[in-house]
Structure 1
Amino acid sequence: MSADKLYILDTNVLLHDPNCLYEFKEQDVAIPMTVLEELDSIKDRKQSVAQEARHVIRAIDNILSAATSPTQITKGVQILVPGTGDDSKLGKLSVFPDHELTSRQGFLPIEKNNDNRIINCALHLQSSDPHRDIILVTKDINMRLKAMGAGLQKVEDYRKDQLVSDVELLPSGHYHIEGNFWEKVSDVKSYQEGPNTYHKVSPDLLPEAYVNQYVFDDSNDFAARVESIDHEKTVLRDLGFGHLMQQSCWGISPINIYQAFAMQSVLDEDIDLCVLNGAAGSGKTLVALACALEMVIEEGRYNKIIVTRSTPPVAEDIGFLPGTEEEKMTPWLSSIHDNLEAMHENDDRPQSSVKYAIEKANIQFKSLNFIRGRSIQDAVVLIDEAQNLTPQQLKTILTRCGKGSKMICLGNLAQIDSNYLTPLTSGLTYIVERFKGFDGAANIHFEGIFRSRLAEYAEEHL
């Protein structure tokens, strides 16, 4: 018996989430032959997406290898839950020979247009099986528009990894309490552990609080971080507003409380992942780099700083740039150099100071292609432009974190360059929501722009 729905997957969906074949529950999935041809052309390219293509091809092969005849592949092979062999909750996977369809059958012209071939596949199935919902799933907005214009009744974006419906609902990592916090507290138990002061208060005071969320009020005196939560109490670690604002790393001090929160989270040894997001010019890279230099050079807590970033064309272009891997990556990581120069602009010999910092902190620039398969230990890893990474790519990087390492993700959801990502489907959004409440992670959304008054005006009005 066929499932009620048949999802036809575009290539970009498979590349976006190589595990998507297992995400349609009891419904059936079809892959047009054109999609397999596109995956075949991608798998040997010298770019990060080739890894996803090979992953998808292996997943498809694992499912279809159970077929006993070519006819079964076109009709559908049962999808089994990976590692369990359980088929009670999943549908079937089939390959549709869309190359047999021609434009003479009343569909879109197919000459040198793979999108039209895939749309024609959905149109054919819609007309031949009218009692079943045929749904084309693609992350290509224009393809969705073309499919609807051609008469396809149901077209969707792939939203399995979309955890929030509105980017405005994304946790900011901090909560502002109007007025004086202590005037609202009727019962509190304070205690000391080592150098830190903690307060146990009623969870009703902060009903939507989560672990490692920062809290502050209008008094310019109270600032704390949520340490733990249960149904009886919320434990706050008192940080002190003045103490936070007096922090200094590599000659850089916070300009506002949001930068101070970020600096505190990066310096905290108990935090393994810091996600710093905000508008261009808000100080994300400057704060992260200053803290990294302080921890590596002054405190000796880490042995090196590894800097990587999302570079949409880097996979194609890096091989054509001269020099070593780090020299090839330098043009893509000029923001790091810009911030190093800003830190040392008042030195007698600023270029020598920048060179000293790079050598002393053992700053290494790495391509995402060379991050795969590594286990990074005793290092601070700066992931710049994280908004351009898919959830799968960010997972690949974060799982490289070895013993004694700290990951810092920097990004601005308003500056996504990828053709297939939006603020809602970006990997940056994904990890902010996924790591909410994890005691080893902190997220800070930066407020304010300090690069220049022109940058501030442009951010607000353009």
Structure 2
Amino acid sequence: MIKAYILDTNVLLHDPLSIQSFEENTVVIPAVVLEEIDTKKRLTDEIGRNAREVARILDKLRTKGKLHEGVELPGSGRLIVELNHRSHDQLEKHGLEKTNDNRILAIALNMMEEAENSQNIVLVTKDALLRVKADALEVHAEDYLTDRVAQFDHIYKGYSEEWMDSDTMDRLFQKKNLRLIEAGIKTTLPHHFYIFRDLSNPSRSALAMADEKMEKIDLFLGESDGIWGIRPRNVQQRMAMELLTRKDIPLVTLVGKAGTGKTLLSLACGMYLTEDMHQYKKLLVCRPVVPVGKDIGYLPGEKDEKLRPWMQPIYDNLEFLFNTNKATELEDILAGMSSVQVEALTYIRGRSIPDQYIIIDEAQNLTKHEVKTIITRVGEGSKIVLMGDPKQIDHPYLDEYTNGLSYVIERMKHADISGHMKFEKGERSGLAQLAADLL
């Protein structure tokens, strides 16, 4: 049965292509939504870009006919721009003021009166309070879920724990590798890690890693001596260090709670490959400029001085790696090396970045479009590492389902040039681990 989906402004600003996500049903865009989108089109951020994209899509559809009468969408379905041809009596009836949200609700109520089955009228909004208000007025409301990926708790981990009989484990240690069938594995993903435990002796274990062709697993011993004074403290860090130092894996994603060692481990591996091994010409470290809590406003000084408060977490880790006590010591070291560059993501569009080790910290605050823009900047011979905690999102329009980091992990896990690791154990301090678990 054909349904009518009424889209709120935040749905279109979140995903301009959402109008094509409702199959053969009718998509209704209230005129007040167009008014709100019009106020956003001059913004220079992601919201402004999406507002302009919505305008272009609607303008193209306008060539097919009058939007207020309805036009066919590409593929299937219809689009109608609803001008609220009926009065606002429904608002007055329920004692509601003529706010933009209430005007959208009024259209839903009017369409429900005209429909044969009121359950076929659905309001789609990412505004939880509007869904609550709609529920009070007996309007069926839903969140926009089409672009969601796996919830963080169910996101791809990059490794799995399996049981293996003693004879098979002996062959793995002897031959150093096994075909998937020999190891009792039906399917796998490129660069997926396995923690095998002996069925007859659970204290005996082996680490293995699937190759990029997903034909066999190789015995993995891991790095135990450490890099740049940083030794892996748990098995996830050992496996992540393998991904971070492999030239043939140009895309690495890392997720984990605060204090699990993502940034420090990545910086250590980046410094090692750049300064010691000379595999890359430069180490580029970037973070999105998204504040926690209230923004501190404009900052004085030149670009580097303005960025310093935002980039301070990176400098903290570099001070630890270089074992410096004063900020001026680190600045002198970085000035002398000239191969380490720390900057915000604001200036990355239009760049081509070849032969560099690129670290993107706090990638959970990036949108799908932003993360695509960043990865498409990567040139020949470069490696990019995206890391973050999807549980700690400061971006007002993202959540653990829709952020760019989770999106990349789920979309790229089948690619033979990518690797992923989910950190489980915090190593910063006992207090940090307890806070990450309980707060």
Above 0.5 in TM-score? yes
Q: Deviations over 1:81-128 (max 9, x none)?
A: xxxxxxxx32122211249753655356344x3222222222222222
Q: Which of 389, 411, 426 lines up with 1:449 in the alignment?
A: 426
Q: Does 1:121 align with 2:107?
A: yes
Distance 1:263 1:188 in 2: 22
RMSD: 3.0
Aligned residue for 1:64? 62
Change in 2 beyond 3 A, CA 1:373/1:37:
farther
Q: SS at the partner of 2:123?
A: strand
Name stretches of at least 5 consecutive residues in structure 1 with no aligned partner: 81-88, 192-196
Q: Which of 405, 412, 424 lines up with 1:428 in the alignment?
A: 405
Q: CA deviation at 1:310?
A: 3.5
Q: Does 1:222 align with 2:222?
A: no
Distance 2:269 2:172 in 1: 34
Aligned residue for 2:240? 262
Q: SS at the partner of 2:64?
A: coil
Q: Does 1:236 align with 2:236?
A: no
Q: Which of 42, 45, 50 lines up with 2:43 in the alignment?
A: 45
Change in 2 beyond 3 A, CA 1:377/1:123:
farther
Q: Does 1:285 align with 2:266?
A: no
Q: Deviations over 1:234-292 (max 9, x none)?
A: 4112221xx4223x332222111111111110111111211110010000111111111
Amino acid at match of 1:406: K
Q: SS at the partner of 1:222?
A: strand
Aligned residue for 2:158? 173
Q: Does 1:202 align with 2:181?
A: yes
Amino acid at match of 1:122: A
Q: Does 1:135 align with 2:122?
A: yes
Show the 5 A alignment for 1:400-415.
Answer: 400-415=377-392
Return 365-374 or 286-295, whichever deviates more. 365-374
In 2, are the aligned partners of 1:6 and 1:28 still within 8 Å (CA)? yes
Distance 1:272 1:331 in 2: 29
Q: Does 1:92 align with 2:71?
A: no
Q: CA deviation at 1:326?
A: 4.1
Distance 2:330 2:277 in 1: 18
Amino acid at match of 2:260: S
Q: CA deviation at 1:396?
A: 2.4
TM-score normalised per structure 1: 0.84
Q: SS at the partner of 2:11?
A: helix
Q: Does 1:322 align with 2:300?
A: yes
Q: Does 1:245 align with 2:217?
A: no
Q: CA deviation at 1:378?
A: 2.1
Q: Deviations over 1:308-352 (max 9, x none)?
A: 3334459x969833344443333222211111122233x476742
Return 52-61 or 281-290, whichever deviates more. 52-61
TM-score normalised per structure 2: 0.88
Distance 1:201 1:334 in 2: 45
Q: CA deviation at 1:213?
A: 0.8
Aligned residue for 2:68? 74
Q: SS at the partner of 1:202?
A: helix
Show the 5 A alignment for 1:296-445.
Answer: 296-312=274-290, 320-345=298-323, 347=324, 351-353=328-330, 355-357=332-334, 360=337, 362-445=339-422
Aligned residue for 1:295? 273
In 2, are the aligned partners of 1:99 and 1:117 still within 8 Å (CA)? no
Aligned residue for 1:36? 34
Name stretches of at least 5 consecutive residues in structure 2 with no aligned partner: 198-202
Distance 1:265 1:386 in 2: 18
Q: SS at the partner of 2:55?
A: helix
